[in-house]
Structure 1
């Protein structure tokens, strides 16, 4: 039985760290903390895997602070050295870790330790200045940290890292998923080898194992699972519901209306989907604050997230940007428009609820032809999804409701062309994202009723897509009256003036004016384009292999027995000459004669 008492960690924790832990109300350690902290304090590299919401942040923050206090006893911490680096995949998670450390540094005996948050979305000069003022601990995203390592003139960051004690890669699998592999490689090359390294993740992948081999020395692997047959928190109830494609928005809208949600996360497939629904959803939910956040928002993200934390009766529309590490204990519901692109993504999404021992729920909306996803996710990720239709709460969708909601969506688009544009982009980006599902054997794009899905979006018209066939056009239900789309204005006066000028030019010339005229290739379906790309890659790989095989063939041509016999005869002849059994003239005569 693992001892979970903070005061009995071996080697023991210092009084200032224990005081701060007690003040924050962490009465006992979680299993991952009890397993990892003693290992790191005894100078071991650690690879830790635990379910989301299990307390991984304190598992590396506490030993890092203990290391710095121990080093302080030997010699004062230098202002120009960085002793701890924590690398996180997103700005939001980095900011969250920074705030946790800040709580500890408010303790008087820890106040001499400094830290710096290095993330994108602001000038590099600000971060350079922050490090120059002194940063014993750096919490960062990999892209910004790599940029600062390359900044040699103002800041020799690599020189400041020569006394590094502890490197932490938080949500390491997500770091690799987001394409930071090369950045991590260049970062690791700049760090001293005599350091402790902690790699923390909720899931293990092959890429992660490669990173472990490259960056850690004989690491101890710690895997903490819940005492159950599921991979999500015990107090989290996961539901799914099968809805008709044209009714998905109506169902989710009524679902939100029927319960008083203090805080909820609503995961949507793409950034464009977030933009569109954030624009139209508030009209249907006057009593609920609707916030939106996605990866293309550079400056606003931290402010929006802070407002969401401080508000009650609110829903945050987001992409998978927020599926990892975000710790907001008050989140009650996680709603999902459709399954995430990867099976593991579902575990991370639903893990935003039921954090810190609280209860929570999640709901995944599926189309009738996606029902095989339920047994698949149970077998693949050990996530048990209950059918919402078996619950006492019945969501009814009437024709009256459908007509009313569609009328509001259509009116929003007719009153502002920018909403019309957002709806078109949202639908197209959603369909493109669907083709990239890892579970494409279960979630097949060719089976989607595109017309019905476009109806659910409340679109005024179907966008121009090569995937849309006549059957999809027959499925689509738009406005009942004819619409002159050229008459729909932008609310933004500048954009509307520009549009009218282009429209006038188009009527005269028959060609829509653009800034740059590009030669457009013949449009083809995404799946065909994807297949062509794969085939091209395979052909290139095959040519490369043939070329390399040819080179190897030239270099490693098989030696015949005749050549071996001839070589042996030459060696024997040279030995006779060396032992003076034959003269130089006899050697030359026989050697040349053999040739």
Structure 2
């Protein structure tokens, strides 16, 4: 069944909900909304799969508000009870859903519903106080919701969930990817069985099916696909380009400079990479506002996201924290430093653009050794990557550009030691993340020219790590002049004073003060460490199976020796002697003589 107009939904939507939808400019329904909303309103549990940017949020917000309006007509809602819960994997996505619901509450008939946002990054007492004031609709992250369920000093949340009508698990596959499986199981135990549940996801996994069986009753499965052989929106153009490792950053830099980007996302492998490039990029892209965000930034993330939404001619440097669910319609380009650790994440990264029918583009630079990733991602995720070299826009990289960019990067590190440290950490964390790729048969750490990659980072020196071989040192292009690295200062005066003090002690003692005086273990390359870990796990499993087999066969099982009657009699006599000694019926000498104790 395909429903195009909102007013044709069966059962019919109420006037306040329709008015808000019209004010927001949603004239027609998306396929996922047309399929899911009538089912939820008919009291069905739903498992919905649809491509990113297909309008899943309205698909559960609209029926949720309708269900509350219907229940309110039957009997007044209690202010201290929770009737709808939306669980989201990240606080950014939870905040986005919260604001969508707030838009509906601008209607007079809906404004009386109390709404609460429960996310981490603030004291639990603040959320408990918010719940005390009333929260008939709760939008939350799983960790904070579980904490509040267990909290008893300020709030009895389980008692407020007795009449829960509707539970939504948004981006459910991501919830499981982030390790919330046990948390969700705990949460479901607190919720009443007589409820409606909606599970929304962009992809289906085996773990997701296990969650469906645990939390939903005879759900209707909805899978809405684009009329295309690819899994990303039709209006999205996905490009790739083969670049030399030492020129990857230069290519991306020139690519950004050569086009008018109103808003762009730049995905980097790790938090440390985001911190480093956020420091050095503004000097290379003075005409663009550079924002950055990653998972280790607990309190600033919402503020940064709001600034990015409001800004023009801006790029947001981010990790895969931003790859799921977030809706920023103005994003034109999604740039990536390298393929994500999970092949499925490529779909979600690219899906941050071309949302709601708008056009958008993504670009993925690949090294020559990574060219097999293109047919792999086509077969694995049905994402067609088009070679950028087939376009008329040619990005030239000259030696003059190389020298200029390297000079700027080196100068920034020599000016502030903090930037030098960030560059070292970024490179090390990048290589470590690369070693953990799911498709490591295609993306092999051993084939990476680490010296060239360090050059693309503009590092002053190669970090000390077991992966760096002699060949990599020959590849590396550092500063032309010799540098005394100990002379590079921190801009932070307090930090610099502490460093100088430690440096002086190091010169006198030969040991850096912060290092513990113990025998340092020899480090291993990450690939080798991972292999050893797997081998040890396999050995443990074999020992466990062998032990179980021996136990079943009755081999090597130590039987407990039976206690004889004679031993029991001797023990009873000894106990009797001790009692006599305590009651002073015998002397200490008589006791020692009875026990045959040497004097």
Shift of 1:535: 1.4
Match of 1:331 in 2: 331
Match of 1:49 in 2: 49
Q: How does 1:301-340 map to 2 (within 5 A)?
A: 301-340=301-340
Match of 1:12 in 2: 12
Q: How does 1:177-196 map to 2 (within 5 A)?
A: 177-196=177-196
- In structure 2, what is the Cα distance between the partners aligned to 1:131 and 1:398? 60
Runs (5+) with no aligned partner, structure 2: 556-599
CA RMSD of aligned residues (A): 1.1
- In structure 1, what is the Cα distance between the partners aligned to 2:8 and 2:32? 15
What secondary structure does 1:110 align onto?
coil
Runs (5+) with no aligned partner, structure 1: 556-595
Shift of 1:12: 1.1
* Superposed CA offset, 1:328-363 (max 9, x none): 000000000000001100000000001111110000
What secondary structure does 2:355 align onto?
coil
Shift of 1:540: 2.0
Shift of 1:4: 1.7
The reply to whether residue 273 of structure 1 matches residue 273 of structure 2 is: yes
What secondary structure does 1:361 align onto?
strand
What secondary structure does 1:481 align onto?
coil
* Superposed CA offset, 1:279-300 (max 9, x none): 0000011110000000000110
Match of 1:298 in 2: 298
Match of 2:128 in 1: 128
What secondary structure does 1:223 align onto?
strand
Shift of 1:516: 4.7
The reply to whether residue 164 of structure 1 matches residue 155 of structure 2 is: no
Q: Given the superposition, is the C-alpha separation of residues 156 and 52 from structure 1 closer, same or farther in structure 2, using an over 3 Å criterion? A: same
Match of 2:247 in 1: 247
The aligned length equals 555
Q: Given the superposition, is the C-alpha separation of residues 36 and 384 from structure 1 closer, same or farther in structure 2, using an over 3 Å criterion? A: same
What secondary structure does 2:264 align onto?
strand
Q: How does 1:355-504 map to 2 (within 5 A)?
A: 355-504=355-504
What secondary structure does 1:109 align onto?
coil
Shift of 1:176: 0.7
Shift of 1:26: 0.6
Which aligned segments of 4 or more residues in structure 1 are displaced greater than 6 angstroms? none
- In structure 1, what is the Cα distance between the partners aligned to 2:60 and 2:519? 54
What secondary structure does 2:155 align onto?
coil
Shift of 1:544: 2.7
TM-score normalised by structure 2 residue count: 0.91
* Superposed CA offset, 1:522-570 (max 9, x none): 1111011111111122222223333344445569xxxxxxxxxxxxxxx
Shift of 1:520: 2.8
The reply to whether residue 175 of structure 1 matches residue 195 of structure 2 is: no
- In structure 1, what is the Cα distance between the partners aligned to 2:515 and 2:164? 51
- In structure 1, what is the Cα distance between the partners aligned to 2:407 and 2:135? 56
* Superposed CA offset, 1:151-195 (max 9, x none): 012111111111111111100110111111111111111111111
Q: Given the superposition, is the C-alpha separation of residues 166 and 516 from structure 1 closer, same or farther in structure 2, using an over 3 Å criterion? A: farther
The reply to whether residue 106 of structure 1 matches residue 106 of structure 2 is: yes
Match of 2:576 in 1: none
TM-score normalised by structure 1 residue count: 0.92
Q: How does 1:543-558 map to 2 (within 5 A)?
A: 543-553=543-553
Shift of 1:244: 0.3
Match of 2:343 in 1: 343
What secondary structure does 1:497 align onto?
helix
Match of 1:588 in 2: none
- In structure 2, what is the Cα distance between the partners aligned to 1:514 and 1:112? 58
Q: Given the superposition, is the C-alpha separation of residues 517 and 223 from structure 1 closer, same or farther in structure 2, using an over 3 Å criterion? A: farther
Q: Given the superposition, is the C-alpha separation of residues 552 and 138 from structure 1 closer, same or farther in structure 2, using an over 3 Å criterion? A: farther
Q: Given the superposition, is the C-alpha separation of residues 554 and 26 from structure 1 closer, same or farther in structure 2, using an over 3 Å criterion? A: farther
* Superposed CA offset, 1:34-88 (max 9, x none): 1111111111111100000000000110111011001101111111100111000
- In structure 1, what is the Cα distance between the partners aligned to 2:222 and 2:552? 44
Match of 1:73 in 2: 73
Q: Given the superposition, is the C-alpha separation of residues 410 and 532 from structure 1 closer, same or farther in structure 2, using an over 3 Å criterion? A: same
Match of 2:289 in 1: 289
Q: Which moved more, 1:383-392 or 1:509-518?
A: 509-518
The reply to whether residue 87 of structure 1 matches residue 95 of structure 2 is: no
What secondary structure does 2:365 align onto?
strand
- In structure 2, what is the Cα distance between the partners aligned to 1:97 and 1:220? 23
